[in-house]
Structure 1
């Protein structure tokens, strides 16, 4: 069991560490990171200005290739028309052609020399080509993106591996976008990759990039700096890095925790083996004594015990490997992973197999071999396993260690569960339930959007309708909010272009003033703004004082505060609430139709919504998301961590119980005569059960004293990652302690009761 669980964890770790290892130039590929001072300390972005790549390519010769990536609509979905059908594509990237030389895709169809050098050209992955055009060669065909851009298919590439950070299904020419013309140093929305020459020192390149920045911008205007992140570090070392387009993010912390958990489970299994072997030492010592009398050396006996342990371990590894293969589908289903048993047949796994076998044999066999082999023939023949013997003390110490670890795992699982429940039930400042967001990217004209809103307003299932650039849980534009219209004293603010009814759809609490105007007259140069409490407090106003004040937040020269809403969690609970604004400035467009509905028949309601949408925008796919479901995606990694931690913690505790079960069985066997005598003298089953369980319960109490402070420290470290979190309270420790005692008692009492109800005559006559 211990080896099967550890092998499963090892397979997961190997898969996570295999990311991006398939690229031949991986050692020289770097992603550019942007660093800036945020409201709550330094922020790191995975996106940088579009002007950086061409400037570096022109000025730094050791940078052999540069490529910018823009995920369609800054991370949104694309609506594709192909072969007279409508599709939703979540993996469309606009890219410079050099990306194909940096990541090296394999071609199925088309000319690999210059497939996306021209504007309005695109490459499709094999799966995307099959989805859009069936099994025929699509080179020369066209696709239409968002009813706006017509792209010629110039090639088809093999699907990128599942363990590739670059996850494109469609790669379109960056020169098609407006961002390729006069690239800016201000709009940092583009992931950028460099291919450095093999002898290049990244830190030297970073200094040269800073020299370029100094030439392009005055020091007082430089609100960011750059560093280079190696490709090998991207998947596991990007926690805390925002604005990354890849959907395949891992965590080195999770890998370290799972590695530690695998080690704990293996040590628990080894402790079980050592405990049971030393418990049997009274029977084995006569064997040792006879062998030594007949001339066996201590070295030969040590070798014999290690060979015995090695054989058991080898059989256990084979059985554990088979068991791990069988439970892979269950593991994938519980954790959402995509493990493949092919990892087992890799050279890396074979070497790990040998290493685990040797290490487990050495650890598990160490104490039995060294302890039993040291007996003299006389001592071995007449040794007794008194309660206070060294073997007994060591055995008790190992049990305490096991249960200290088990209690820490129980507390950790409880803390993770409580934090996830806290997030799920926290008042976010808005109501995401019964709200659906429908993407309207394919409906560009304002008249078309008004028609969509009007068509949905008349539906009896719809109580509120609005259009907005984004919604809580979806990133919107980032700007700076300045105090007193000055260029000094600013804070970061998220801005969302929205209709008047957005605050009502989200059920935001209005503190002062009014929401945005329902109609804005054509030619009106005023910008109406609704701020949250955080924003007006930064400006130094109360909500009432802020109404009518002019505000400088890069929304034109005539932006005035019209209303103030209570703070709400527009991002994840990892971050404190920052400044936020709804506005009607014409710099962005409203991409989502927000509907608050009152129907409990979700399938029928969705079917009706889709029908109305398709009647209004017939050449667009119907893509929607529920706000409460979208909110869950913000904590997907924590939910995965919680599931994996809970699964393997339960298994680790189960392995510990197996050892305790065996040890209790042997203890009961050792005290068979004592139990028989006590029963003859009138002892009850309850009394004997209490007698046999008492020693183990005492050990659990010692384990509780050791585990509680360690578990508290570990829990506090994990909770520090959340701006909004629970407090680790004493009830958690009480629950963990009670669970540990119940688990121990249930495990031990089975053997104790079995011994207590045995026939004393049978026990006594076997002397």
Structure 2
């Protein structure tokens, strides 16, 4: 029984730790395959107070050409612009239609920076000309099957025709870049007049060997000073090493990649892995030291018959090494078997080949050696060096130091378990807060249908009318964007003397949007339903945050002129709405404006529907869409589902935490069960005497359980402050967060005590019910 508990506990702990460290190794492997990785950097811009001191992953269009021409130490510089700032592209090839989420417009230098391998075409010239495009290998197969795509034409959004000039190898799964289609930057709207104002372009540079990054950043600032007046500089520039792009950008904004890691998650998972490994190792060492004392007579007899201390040391270490090796092999097999399940839970692409990475193999060998060395040290050195007389003396008592070590290990084990329990409860409560948080609008039963491929206003109007004719549709309107997606970023000013301003998100919409989203109108009215074609005045509906910044009351703001960058002096406030969460709950509510200016296209048809059958509703909407736009793909997103992507990391953390917390507690219970069984066996004569003298089963169970409960209580005192400190740090990432109340610790403590009592009581009751005749009999 003890061998099974040892091996199962240790192998489970190892399997969990191996999986976690495989995940960590994969996350740290991002962007390490590029030949020039050590010299590649991404340009970042750091904003001031008016933009919330944010760090943008995108930079102005004018930056890359200026860097390449003015700084000799920059070998290459390339801009990336995601199609329509991240919207899906509609691709037409002959009579076939495709939806493409990963279309980028890039400078030719990008191919050299990332050393992209071409399957077809010439990488040196593929993007040199306007209206050219290259495809990833898998995308070329999807678009053209097995036909040669070179020289063929693809049409983007029914307006732009591009010639295919190359096919490149797909980017690996651990690459920050994941482009499927790359069009020449000279084909995009931004190529005509690159400015220092619109910062929507991810910019990568490759420095020449042994170039000082700090010196280059000073030169970048000099270029900024040369091109932008000091009073107009709302940002500063820096370079981010490619090796830090994946894990150190989670708090940055405007990143194009959807493969954003988090160094905090890696650190937390490292701690989780170590905690579980500590729990498993503590189990093993506890049971090994406990069982070794039962073998003292065995050692004494061997030494009496002539065995040397050295031979006994070798023997104990050989036994310990064999058991830990068996556990190691089982742990590796368990990890391999559960990789697909782990991938499904975490949405990762872990490959079994990660197990054979040198770091992991060496780590496993070091773990095996250390566990063997520590676990076998007590029987190997203490017992093997004791004299046979001392060992065989029936009066011999347990070494107090060893007993205290065992108690300390139990405390350590349960402290780790309690920290995991507190962590899981905190994450779960925070997710509950997010799910139940009042957003200020109603995203349920609302779908956003992309109209990017519809270029004619008349067709968009016709589409809205067709949707309104459906019996299941309660409201519909056209909009530039919707809560949860990025719209235009501008600056809001109190007056002409206001030099700082406040960042405001502006969204061009139909008047019906405010009702459709169930926003609360506090004063004034919605945008006017009719606007003359030659009317240059802009009506805006501001949220309360924007009105407060301007210094107006909700009522007084209506009818006032407002200064918003890009609107000149033509904007008038016609209404004020209550604040609503248009971004993730990680961020506080910012300033927002709905407007009817003509500066942006309305790219989405928002449709609110009743709670009838969803497949029926979507089928009706698609049929109407195909009537108006038969040559375009039907793409849509539900507003509530779109919001869930903001919290996918927390959901994965909660799922992983719950799973691994359960397994860690199971491993801890295994050890406690074994230790309780050992103590019951060790004290069986005492229990027999007590039963003969009239002790009840309850009294004996209480006596055996009391010591373990004391240890668990000590572990609570140690773990609670540590757990509070760790989880409070985690919650700092949220603008809306729970308070870590005493109830969380009360539940965690109650669970820990209940688990310990349940585990120990099983053995205690079994020992208490044993026939005293058997336990008192002397062989």
Number of residue pairs the alignment of both structures matches: 767
The 5 Å alignment of 1:55-454 reads 55-290=66-301, 301-373=312-384, 375-382=386-393, 389-454=400-465
Indicate if the aligned counterparts of 2:447 and 2:606 stay in contact, CA closer than 8 A. yes
Match in the other structure for 2:7: none
Q: In structure 2, what is the equivalent of residue 502 of structure 1?
A: 513
Q: After the TM superposition, which residues 695-734 of structure 1 pair with which residues of structure 2 at under 5 Å, given as runs?
A: 695-734=707-746
Deviations 1:91-148 (A, max 9, x none): 1111011111111222222223311111111111111111111122211111111111
Deviation larger for 360-369 or 329-338: 360-369
1:664 aligns with 2:676: yes
The normalised TM-score by structure 1 is 0.97
Partner of 1:25: 36
Q: Determine the structure 2 residue equivalent to 1:757.
A: 769
Match status 1:694 vs 2:701 = no
Q: In 2, distance between residues paired with 1:470 and 1:542?
A: 28
CA distance in 2: counterparts of 1:169 and 1:372, whole angstroms: 66
CA distance in structure 2 between the partners assigned to 1:222 and 1:429 by the alignment: 34
Bigger drift between 184-193 and 706-715 goes to: 706-715
Provide the rounded CA distance (Å) in 2 between the counterparts of 1:133 and 1:487.
55
Q: What is the deviation of 1:384?
A: 6.5
CA contact under 8 A between 2:289 and 2:375: conserved in structure 1? no
Q: SS of the residue aligned with 1:32?
A: strand
Select 2:577's aligned residue among 565, 576, 598: 565
Question: For residues 39 and 382 of structure 1, do their structure 2 counterparts lie closer, same or farther at Cα, with a shift above 3 Å needed?
Answer: farther
Displacement, 1:286? 3.0
Query: Normalized against structure 2, the TM-score is what?
Result: 0.95
Preserved contact between residue 51 and residue 503 of structure 2 (Cα < 8 Å): no
Deviation by residue 1:428-449 (Cα, 9 ceiling, x = unmatched): 1111111111111001221111
Distance 2:382 2:326 in 1: 24
Alignment partners' CA distance in 2, 1:387 and 1:750: 25
Q: Is the 8 A contact 1:274 1:367 kept in 2?
A: no
1:34 and 1:45 in contact (8 A); partners too: yes
Stretch of structure 1 that moved more, 500-509 or 357-366: 357-366
What is the alpha-carbon distance in structure 2 between the residues aligned to residue 561 and residue 474 of structure 1? Answer: 24
Distance 1:43 1:523 in 2: 38
Q: CA RMSD in A?
A: 1.8
CA contact (8 A) 1:483 1:489 kept: no
Q: Is the 8 A contact 2:68 2:76 kept in 1?
A: yes
**1:385–1:392 CA contact under 8 A, matched in 2:** no
CA distance in 1, matches of 2:555, 2:517: 22
CA contact (8 A) 2:50 2:501 kept: no
Alignment of 1:532 with 2:546, yes or no, is: no
CA pair 672-459 structure 1, distance change in 2 beyond 3 A: same
Return the alpha-carbon distance in structure 2 between the equivalents of residues 367 and 517 of structure 1. 84
Q: How many angstroms apart in 1 are the aligned matches of 2:374 and 2:616? A: 61
Per-residue deviation, 1:503? 0.9
* SS of the residue 1:280 aligns to: helix
Task: Give, in angstroms, the shift of residue 25 of structure 1.
Answer: 0.7
Gaps in structure 1 of 5+ consecutive residues? none
Contact 1:613 1:622 in 2 (8 A): yes
Return closer, same or farther for 1:7/1:614 CA change in 2, 3 Å cut-off. Answer: same
User: Per the alignment, do residues 641 and 395 of structure 1 end up closer, same or farther by CA in structure 2, a change over 3 Å counting?
Assistant: same
Report the Cα distance in structure 2 between the residues aligned to 1:442 and 1:716, rounded to whole angstroms.
47
Q: What SS does the aligned partner of 1:524 have?
A: coil
Tell me the alpha carbon deviations over residues 683-726 of structure 1, each in whole angstroms, 9 at most, x when there is no partner: 33333322222211121111112222221222211111101011
Quote the Cα distance in structure 2 between the aligned partners of 1:305 and 1:266: 23
Q: 1:188 to 1:688 in 2, by over 3 A?
A: same
> In 1, distance between residues paired with 2:407 and 2:188?
70
Q: CA deviation at 1:682?
A: 3.6
Secondary structure at the counterpart of residue 563 of structure 2: coil
Aligned residue among 531, 537, 550 for 1:520: 531
Question: 8 Å contact 1:83–1:132 — kept in the other structure?
Answer: no
* Cα distance per residue 1:274-308 (max 9 Å; x no partner): 11122123223334444555666656654543333
* CA offsets 1:182-215 (integer angstroms, 9 cap, x no match): 2010000000000111111111110111111111
Q: 1:580 to 1:683 in 2, by over 3 A?
A: same
In the TM superposition, residue 239 of structure 1 has moved relative to its aligned partner by 1.9
Instruction: For residue 388 of structure 1, report the CA deviation from its aligned partner.
Output: 8.1
Whole-angstrom CA distance in 2 between matches of 1:204 and 1:140? 44
Mapped partners of 1:15, 1:181: distance in 2: 41
